Amino acid sequence: MIETLKKFYDKYQELNKILSDPEVMKSPEAVIKYSKALSEVEEPAKIYESYLKIKNEIEELQSLDSTDIHDEIVKEISQKKSELEQIENMSGEFIESLDSDIGRNVIVEIRGGVGGQESAIFAGDLLRMYLKYAEKHKLTAEILDSHETELGGFKEVIFSVSGKGTYKLFKYESGVHRVQRVPVTEASGRIHTSTATVAVLPEATEVDVRINPDDLRVDTFRSSGAGGQHVNRTESAVRITHIPSGIVVVCESERSQIQNRVIAMKILRARLFEIKKREEESKMSDMRRTQIGMGERSEKIRTYNFPQNRVTDHRNGFTDHGLEEVMNGDLDEIVKSLTEWEMQMMTKER
């Protein structure tokens, strides 16, 4: 664990040196890039500095040769060793910082899956759960685009979440979420199983992903408006096609074509960044790829069983019998269990 902290410390020293280079200071893009990287490693680097300081103090105390205050020295060394042990235990919390996206904001995409109207309703339930979760942690959430159904569910909804610790809180949510309950559309009272897919995309900057304008085809059309509530008489909706990858992003949530284009580009950049990350992960060992790639969209990650008031995460087997609280945004215990599980796996690999 301490060796991991040392790597953060070495990186922190390296980045400080880079940022003091006059040539680097001339480039605003470079300053933003390296300053962001510095902020991501600063906290574990400072912990390692504290570790070194206490360790040096212990060595100094042990080198003292004084029979007059021998008992006091032994007592102080014992206290220092206790502090050192606390830091060593704390270092495990920063293993997750090996994920380079830890300081990023996110874009979350939720889509109804198997189950028709019920899957769309469940997608809406997940949206409300995440919005409450974000609010609980004082994060800012904003709906970027949505396609609502007649019964108040969502075929698709895309939103952004920003604030300190955002990616850390949302990183485990990508995958297939399964619900077991009696749908409001079911007259006979039978329990149905439906699904919705969630994709959590780290928000990318222009520095992360450079998009050639010549690779884009931009189409505009008339928007039907959010939930079909109104018809926009102008061609404000935007469809952007990234020709090399074939990715298509449609945004029609705003009245302004410019606003819709900005949002669509934000989503496109995040999707391209995800592809870039997947390509990098494919070069890693199978174990490491499994750990980082826990958010495969096709992977069933969690079941919400309403008759049994139970939610179970299938990656680590964690079960919570407070389903109502979970659906009201209380995901902390689930996320905590997944964080500990991931750290254990990563520690084993090291």
Question: Of 68-82, 161-175, 294-308, which range is least confident?
Answer: 294-308
CB 110 within 8 A of CB 148: no
In tens, the pLDDT along 171-195 reads: 999 999 999 999 887 767 889 999 9
What is the arithmetic mean of pLDDT over 130-142?
97
- For position 350, what pLDDT does the model report? 40
In tens, the pLDDT along 224-255 reads: 654 444 445 567 899 999 999 999 999 988 88
- For position 294, what pLDDT does the model report? 44
CB 35 within 8 A of CB 20: no
148-164 burial code (b ≥16 CB/10 A, e <16): bbeeebbebbbbbbeee
Rg (alpha carbons) of the chain, rounded to whole number: 25
- For position 286, what pLDDT does the model report? 46
Q: Is residue 148 classed as helix, strand or coil in its secondary structure? A: strand
In tens, the pLDDT along 98-114 reads: 666 777 899 999 999 99
Residue 24 phi/psi, 5° resolution? -65, -40
Q: Which of 300, 329, 316 is nearest to 178 (CA)?
A: 300
End-to-end, the C-alpha distance of the chain in Å comes to 9
Residue 166 phi/psi, 5° resolution? -60, -55
| Matching residue, tokens 């990508």 | 174
Residue 95: pLDDT band (50, 70, 90) is: low
| Matching residue, tokens 């206790």 | 82
Distance CA 86, CA 83 (A): 5
- For position 297, what pLDDT does the model report? 53
Residue 126: pLDDT band (50, 70, 90) is: very high
Q: What is the Cβ-side half-sphere exposure of residue 53, based on CA atoms within 13 angstroms?
A: 8
Question: Of 91-95, 146-150, 173-177, 195-199, which range is least confident?
Answer: 91-95
Strands 237-242 and 216-221: antiparallel
CB 71 within 8 A of CB 61: no
| Matching residue, tokens 């919390």 | 93
pTM attached to this predicted model: 0.69
